[in-house]
Amino acid sequence: MTKAPDETGIAPQACRLETGGHIDRDRTLRFRFDGRTLTGHPGDTLASALLANGVRLVARSFKYHTPRGILAEGAEDPSGLVALGRGARHEPNTRATMTTLTDGLEARSQNAWPSLRWDAAALMRPLSAFMPVGFYYKTFQWPPQVWPLAEPVLRRMAGLGTSPRQPDPDTYEHRTAHCDVLVVGAGPAGLMAAWAALAAGARVILADERASLGGCLLKERTVLNDAPAADWVQTVLGELTSDSRVTVLPATTVTGQHDHGFWLAAERIYDRPDTDPAAAGPRQRLWHIRAKQTVLATGAIERPLVFAGNDRPGVMLAGSVRAYLNQYAVAPGHKAVVFASHDEGYRTALDLVAAGIPVAAVVDPRADVRGPLPDRVRALGVPVRDGYVIGDTRGTASGGLSAVSVHRYRTGGDMVSVGEWLDIDLLATSGGWNPTLHLHAHTGARPIWDAETLAFQPDPDRGPAWLAGACGGLKPLDAVLLSGREAGRGAAEAAGLRLPEGGSPCPTVAPDDPAQATAGTRRAALWAVPKPAVANGKRFVDLQSDVTVEDVALAHREGLESVEHLKRYTALGMGTDQGKTSNVTGLTLLAAARHQPIPEVGTTTFRAPYTPITLGALAGTATGEQFAPVRRSPLHDVQAEAGAVFQATGLWLRPRFFPRDGETLAEAVQREVRTTRERVGMVDVSFLGKIDIQGPDAAEFLNRVYVNGWTGLPVGKVRYGLMLREDGMVLDDGTTARLAEDHFAMTTTTANAGRVMEHLEHALQVYWPELDVRLVSTTDAWAAIALAGPRSRQLLTFVTDLDVSNDALPFMGVATGDVCGIPARVFRISFSGELAYEINVPAGYGETLWRRLSQAGSALGLTPYGSEALGVMRIEKGHVAGPELDGRTTPHDLGLGRMVSTKKSFIGHRLLERPALTDPDRPRLVGLVPEDGRTRLLAGSQIIAVEHAGAPPPIPRLGHISSACSGPSVGHPVALGFLTGGLEQWADQTVLVTYPLKGTQVRARVVPPQFYDPEGSRQNA
Amino acid sequence: MTRYSALSLIRQGFAGHNGWPRVWRDATPRSGYDIVIIGGGGHGLATAYYLARNHGLTNIAVLEKGGLGGGNVGRNTTIVRSNYLLDENAAFYEHGMKLWTRLSRDLNFNVMLSQRGVLNLAHTDAQMEAFARRGNAMRLNGIDAELLDVAAVQQAAPLLDTSPDARFPIVGGLIQPRAGTARHDAVAWGYARAADALGVDIIQNCEVTAIRRDRSGAVLGVETTRGLIGAEKIGLCVAGHTSQLAAMVDLPLPLESHLLQAMVTEPVKPCLDTVVTSGAAHCYISQTDKGELVFGGDLDGYPSFAQRGETPRIEHICASAVALFPAFSRLRLMRTWGGVVDMSMDGSPIIDRTPVPGLYLNGGWNYGGFKATPAAGWCFAHTIAHDAPHPLVRPFALDRFARGATLDEKGAGPTPALH
Amino acid sequence: MMLIPCPWCGPRPRVEFTYGGPDPSTHPRPADTAPLDVWTRYVYERDNPKGEARELWRHGAGCRQWFVVERDTVTHAVAASEPLPGVEDPR
């Protein structure tokens, strides 16, 4: 196996086997690990390539910072976590085993400083005796200064890798797919299931988390139909991929089962072997799969045996050792011991010998082991130590495994304390297999303990999916293949398809295949080997969270003895691997400590996702500007042209102001207000919600949803309305015009447009289906411009033949006709308090209307204005808006109590009678002006009594300022606010407007909340 | 009770940690108690503890249908704060904040209170004004609050995207510096241990199936899966299932049970030192001491007792997290879970006597039960002990809906899913 | 994600719908003349069933119709849906 450096000077792959493996030896890929340049081949994972180069130490553990290597070969690996990429593409905590090796891959170790080999934090290890599980709950309580000092230290010790610091340059997407049969897992059972379902004509999605499909058929030396199993895999995959009804998704993890046949699957596109890295495209894709039927063929996960020093790099799962030998042609060590509690250990020994790796012993806790596999191993001259266990390990300076001690063992835990040391660097270990039932259990199925196989088996009643292969119970390979075929056919039939007579035949398995021999053999219920009196290492149950057998015992001793408590107290299974190799072992140890059978101790809840999903994939395309839809008025572009500065308001982008050369916000607003008040201004009001209401009962309907009366409103008139929730609080306000006897046009506030529509539809459909009324939202159908100011009528006459005189179109009137040659509705309503017209035209004509009005208005000094100036003018006028309609105010609170009809019923009218809502001491709307006539009152200020100036908290509040402005039209700052008892109690009195966040206080006089033209002579002009 | 301290850790370290006693006794039910608290979560355990400590009442049982602390106390996003607008809420939660700051010492159990600040992000000027209104009210109520400009926000959370091009640009924020997080499980265990030490019986795997009453209607005790247990007074602390327990005495409540999801990423080294919330993005984010980023968001929006949520909410919360922190896009979501919360009709809780003599109610905690744990326990204990509501919880009375004195912090009205 | 069977549009993903409270047949809006406490109970109190529930839902992203769904609040299983009383079931 030793090779000389090649001409490039890069070290050869010292642990690559000469032959075999499903790798492409013709192509060499270069990658870097911790700055060293190494090589591998297509078909490698990062883990297999590291092992091929003899790299065994890859990480440091979470708590004790002890050396960690690669334990497994798949998603279950708890310890081989590395950082990938650089800069903005840095990615922490990635499993080396699940990373497809690509040319130029950059990987680094993490959670170690200054280097992986010499980690300062590991010096803490001697203190570990004083840091048992949950030690932090027991100290740092006192004095209070201690914990704030200790916490940052603990935080820095924890945490594994580091977060990227820059925005992710890659993209992600979501895709929705429907199918008859979803097959999860493309091992022997999954391939058969997909093939059989297709044979029945089903639309099939086949997803597998691995980049290379075939599952155990690639990892073992299996022969199917007298040929290597990989040939059969290629044949079936060929059948599947060539059929348009099938979607085959490699490197795609089905991460969760959700309600009603909904499955989430994360596709790591860059890990797919068929992805061209040069072609720009999304990095990952999240599939939303709605499947009529699902076959789970997720296999089983091997669990390690627990013994002292079982965390050293070089200790590896026995099945994973076979995968590295057979799939990747990698020798994970130079000399091995196999330690397993069942017959599969012998299978690993056979493969090791076949690969030319000496096996010092097969150590088996069972006494007197006989059978085809043990006999074959013995025949090869490999020592079989049945009735023995591994008790301890030794390591090299860098932490790698160098020796194991073998101890005589009798079932029941009686172990000879002194063992015999064997010098080896690879220990293949297996404590049995756990069917992979995560997806099965996500929607509530509870796996059942089976004492025969020493594993949880699926809940036969609860799971909504078909189970095939090992996840439905361990079985010989021919039975696995058959179960896949049956599940595929069953699923297809249940999805409504007709089954064919034949098709998709199961391949023939060689009778002497080890996979035929091991499934049903005797298994030792050995979970943790006793610790010898003097041991070098700890006995780790969870290699990532650093949970030991002693920790489990301590948790039990302290009464944290339910599965859930154990998990939360020790962090067992709470790592990035979610305890795939440790949960069941932890549970059995807990059961033993409680002297209870495992079923009584229970199982933990399986929670999605099966393996972690990047936030980017979950966000999909909802990033940046696409995080939320942007709503733009039909007048957006023309206003942008006019120099508008926009502000996000809800989903809308609204013009805030229109600065002219160098103007500040305040200057521009001042000018826009002055121009409008003195001449004429125009503002985009397309944002207001608009609802078209038609039908013979339309007026009656409005009567029932508004507090004021509507039946008497003449055609051609507009009325201001106030709408309540059932609890009597104001939901929304706005104007509604009667265009015909049976036709009304309602406006709502921008923020509540959706909610009001839903409210009205609810009322109409659920409360009063007898009313003959139709509703449609027309918010997006109209462009709306308000023309305001003393010259607005004049301007309007330039562009319309409509009679817009005060007689023909008085305040609160509506007219229909052409404006600027465009069919329009003209509402004589005013938010600013000026003579004003709101012109609505079909949205597509909005821009034309804006341009023509601008043109016609230039002679009159027309200015466009934005939401800021609009806000200033409505405050000066004393109109309520969002800050006043905060969901806690009644009509009375707003000073609109006289609008509330006493002659009819309407939504909210009964609960409005409740005592607390009619209390005269409720905060009610008032106006406030600074006593000094100068100092701004700030929205968000609180109001207190003058005598409470400088008082210590808590200071009783009298109310607050809801809206405020500098009052450019009235010559002094003004504010709207709510004050306990309202004007009745406070008119003309002085209160203190306080803003403790800035330390300011202003004496203010309470006045009626109308500052500008309270008589309304301007708007009525 | 063996006191926990650095010294006891060292001593036990030399003894192989063989001498640690149980955190709480696993009590078997006796035939009767003065007071039975239903629900062995944070609120139930805190109530029992304060009944014993503040009121000298120790003949108490806490009944838990499953394992202690398995409900919402172990399913929340661990945020502790008192940044409320309404005076009634502010006074109550601020009392809680004071209890939090000395809780580790009171309980002799480190609940890992981390006063790292809770920062609410404002994305519009209107929001900033609403924050100012709340922050000013907090100050008047003696609660710490600071208004931050964009630069200060950036300093508090350097990885936040504060650029003006963001879809919802950040214009500032309101921070309560004393607020923060606490280790949720530790709160349950710490209260359990302290209550147990004062003589309270904590009985797990004991589900209440009926409430027994005498002819006058007063409570006599509870029927449980472990037999009949007599009680003169019964306190309900069963967040998520309050309606079900109240239905045993035909008491309809203004509650709806909804599903609230939370989730964590894989752990990373410290990268976020404060709790960040955004109303526009509908999410809240913090980092645990272990290094996981914890996300929470809005309800799924319909009644559910399933303790597992739907993917659209998860996707939206993650999109929100990435919108706020674009650098987090490559981190991975590791675990999601759901809790069943009692949503009340005004978004505020209920602590009160009930029309049934001897039956007391603590429920309707909406999103906020965890942070309320000490104050709720304190006030509910008082309410039970004196058969009269503690002054701080008088506003949380059950009849406030009939009176119209709702405490609608969000102004959302009687639609539970909107609070 | 649940599939909600809209009587008009067929089964659609839950995100297209909003939940709107209990079935009005079992939780009717009181008459205007009903006593205040009846109104208070209507607006505020809920049966909040754990298990089978009859609920009001709205297909906001589709036909905008309100209708009744029979759903289990524990398992999320949807047994049936029907239009409001007096509305013909289009199916």
Residue A831 lies in domain: 684-865
User: Within 10 A of A651 (CB to CB), how many other CB atoms are there?
Assistant: 14
Determine the average pLDDT of the residues in A469-475.
90
Residue A207 has pLDDT above 60, yes or no: yes
Tokens 């709503």 sit on residue? A631
| CATH number for the domain harbouring residue A409 | 3.50.50.60
**B245: which 2 tokens?**
């327990």
Residue A653 has pLDDT above 50, yes or no: yes
Residue A757 has pLDDT above 70, yes or no: yes
Residues B392, B395, B397, B402: what is their CA dihedral angle, to the nearest 10 degrees?
Answer: 170
Which chain A residues touch B316 with a CB distance below 8 Å?
Answer: 622
Cβ of A163 within 8 Å of Cβ of B161? The answer is no
Q: Which of B268, B403, B412 sits opposite A914 (nearest CB)?
A: B403
Residue A842 has pLDDT above 70, yes or no: yes
User: A478 vs chain B: nearest CA distance in angstroms?
Assistant: 36
Cβ of A725 within 8 Å of Cβ of B408? The answer is no
The subunits that touch chain A, with at least 3 C-beta pairs less than 8 Å apart, are B, C
User: C35 vs chain A: nearest CA distance in angstroms?
Assistant: 9
Cβ of A762 within 8 Å of Cβ of C75? The answer is no
User: C2 touching B, CB under 8 A?
Assistant: yes
In the A/C pair of chains, how many CB contacts fall below 8 A?
57
Cβ of B414 within 8 Å of Cβ of A727? The answer is yes
Which chain C residues touch A761 with a CB distance below 8 Å?
Answer: 58, 64, 66
Determine the average pLDDT of the residues in A126-147.
90
pLDDT of residue A8: 64
Residue A1 has pLDDT above 50, yes or no: no
Q: Are A531 and A401 part of one and the same domain?
A: yes
Closest Cα in chain B to A286: B315
ipTM reported for the complex, 2 dp:
0.98
Determine the average pLDDT of the residues in A767-781.
97
List, for residues A77-97, the tens digit of each pLDDT value: 999 999 999 999 999 999 999
> Which C residues, 23 through 42, put their C-beta within 8 Å of a C-beta on chain B?
36-37, 40-41
Cβ of B266 within 8 Å of Cβ of A160? The answer is yes
pLDDT of residue A462: 66
Q: Where are the beta strands (DSSP E) in A867-999?
A: 923-930, 942-944, 959-965, 974-980, 990-995
Please return the burial class of B363, using the count of CB atoms within 10 Å of its CB with bins 0-12, 13-18 and 19+. Answer: buried
User: A766 touching C, CB under 8 A?
Assistant: yes
Determine the average pLDDT of the residues in A975-1002.
97
Please return the burial class of A459, using the count of CB atoms within 10 Å of its CB with bins 0-12, 13-18 and 19+. Answer: middle
List, for residues A894-949, the tens digit of each pLDDT value: 999 999 999 999 999 999 999 999 999 999 999 999 999 999 999 999 999 999 99
In a domain, A678, yes or no: no
Which chain C residues touch A914 with a CB distance below 8 Å?
Answer: 36, 40
- Nearest residue to A252 via CA among A619, A536, A611: A611
pLDDT of residue B340: 96
Which chain C residues touch A909 with a CB distance below 8 Å?
Answer: 32
Residue A378 has pLDDT above 60, yes or no: yes
List, for residues A396-428, the tens digit of each pLDDT value: 988 899 999 999 998 766 888 888 999 999 999
List, for residues A694-711, the tens digit of each pLDDT value: 999 999 999 999 999 999
**Which of A263 and A418 is assigned the larger pLDDT?**
A263
Q: Which of A769, A905, A910 sits opposite C36 (nearest CB)?
A: A910
Tokens 């992203």 sit on residue? C61
pLDDT of residue A118: 86
Greatest CA span in chain A, whole angstroms?
A: 115
Provide the mean pLDDT of chain A.
94
Q: Are A112 and A32 part of one and the same domain?
A: yes
Which numeric CATH code is attached to B27-82+84-109+183-253+346-418? 3.50.50.60
3-state secondary structure of B164: coil
Cβ of B5 within 8 Å of Cβ of A139? The answer is yes
User: Within 10 A of A767 (CB to CB), how many other CB atoms are there?
Assistant: 15
User: A245 touching B, CB under 8 A?
Assistant: no
pLDDT of residue A2: 43
**A347: which 2 tokens?**
């299978």
User: B22 touching A, CB under 8 A?
Assistant: yes
> Which A residues, 595 through 614, put their C-beta within 8 Å of a C-beta on chain B?
607-609, 612-614
> Which A residues, 468 through 487, put their C-beta within 8 Å of a C-beta on chain B?
none
pLDDT of residue A464: 75
In a domain, A351, yes or no: yes
Q: Are A369 and A273 part of one and the same domain?
A: no
pLDDT bucket at A358, cuts 50 / 70 / 90: very high
User: B267 touching A, CB under 8 A?
Assistant: yes
User: B121 touching A, CB under 8 A?
Assistant: no
3-state secondary structure of A749: coil
**C14: which 2 tokens?**
């839950």
Residue A152 has pLDDT above 70, yes or no: yes
3-state secondary structure of A155: helix
pLDDT of residue A277: 66
Around A83, how many Cα atoms within 13 Å sit in the side-chain half-sphere? 26
Mutate to test the interface with C, among A442, A765, A906, A914 (most CBs of C within 10 A): A765
- Per-residue b/e over B128-147, b at no fewer than 16 CB within 10 Å? bbbbbbbbbbbbbbebbbbb
How many helices (H) and strands (E) chain A has is answered by 25, 52
- Nearest residue to A342 via CA among A324, A364, A361: A364
Residues B155, B156, B161, B167: what is their CA dihedral angle, to the nearest 10 degrees?
Answer: -120
Per-residue pLDDT 10s for chain B (419 aa) are: 789 999 999 999 999 899 999 999 999 999 999 999 999 999 999 999 999 999 999 999 999 999 999 999 999 999 999 999 999 999 999 999 999 999 999 999 999 999 999 999 999 999 999 999 999 999 999 999 999 999 999 999 999 999 998 999 999 999 999 999 999 999 999 999 999 999 999 999 999 999 999 999 999 999 999 999 999 999 999 999 999 999 999 999 999 999 999 999 999 999 999 999 998 778 999 999 999 999 999 999 999 999 888 999 999 999 999 999 999 999 999 999 999 999 999 999 999 999 999 999 999 999 889 999 999 999 999 999 999 999 999 999 999 999 999 999 999 999 988 88
Which chain C residues touch A762 with a CB distance below 8 Å?
Answer: 20, 58, 66
Nearest-5° Cα angle at A557, A554 to A563? 80
Determine the average pLDDT of the residues in A375-380.
96
CA pair distance A610, A614, nearest whole angstrom: 13
pLDDT bucket at A520, cuts 50 / 70 / 90: low
Determine the average pLDDT of the residues in C16-22.
96
Tokens 């073992």 sit on residue? A220
User: C73 touching A, CB under 8 A?
Assistant: no
pLDDT of residue B163: 95
In the B/C pair of chains, how many CB contacts fall below 8 A?
65
pLDDT of residue B190: 98
User: What residue spans define the domains of chain B?
Assistant: 27-82+84-109+183-253+346-418, 118-178+257-344
pLDDT of residue A519: 64
Cβ of A144 within 8 Å of Cβ of B105? The answer is yes
Strand partners, B285: B276, B295
pLDDT bucket at A738, cuts 50 / 70 / 90: very high
CATH of C3-83, one of 3.20.20.80, 1.10.10.10, 3.30.2270.10, 1.20.58.220: 3.30.2270.10
Q: Is the dihedral of CA A273, A278, A279, A282 positive or negative?
A: positive
Q: If you write DSSP's letter for every residue of A104-136 in order, what string do you get? A: TEEEE--S-SB-SSSBGGGGGGGGGGG--TTGG
Tokens 């070969």 sit on residue? A73
Q: Are A553 and A525 part of one and the same domain?
A: no
Residue C79 has pLDDT above 80, yes or no: yes
Q: How many domains does chain A have?
A: 6
Q: Are A202 and A84 part of one and the same domain?
A: no
pLDDT bucket at A395, cuts 50 / 70 / 90: very high
List, for residues C27-39, the tens digit of each pLDDT value: 999 999 999 999 9
Q: Which of A118, A142, A169 is the C-terminal boundary of a domain? A: A169
* β-sheet with A645-649: strand ranges across: A631-632, A652-657, A645-649
Residue A689 has pLDDT above 50, yes or no: yes
Q: Is the dihedral of CA A938, A944, A947, A948 positive or negative?
A: negative
Report long-range pairs for A406-415 (Cβ below 8 Å, ≥24 apart): A406/A337, A406/A361, A406/A363, A407/A529, A407/A532, A409/A365, A409/A529, A410/A367, A411/A365, A411/A366, A411/A367, A411/A524, A413/A530, A415/A389, A415/A391, A415/A529, A415/A530, A415/A532
- Ranking A76-85, A355-364, A514-523, A954-963 by mean pLDDT, the lowest is A514-523
At A597, the amino acid letter reads P
pLDDT of residue A7: 58
Cβ of B140 within 8 Å of Cβ of A163? The answer is no
Q: Which of B10, B13, B335 sits opposite A607 (nearest CB)?
A: B335
CATH class of B118-178+257-344: alpha beta
Q: Which of C32, C58, C78 sits opposite A910 (nearest CB)?
A: C32
User: B391 touching A, CB under 8 A?
Assistant: no
Cβ of B311 within 8 Å of Cβ of A938? The answer is no
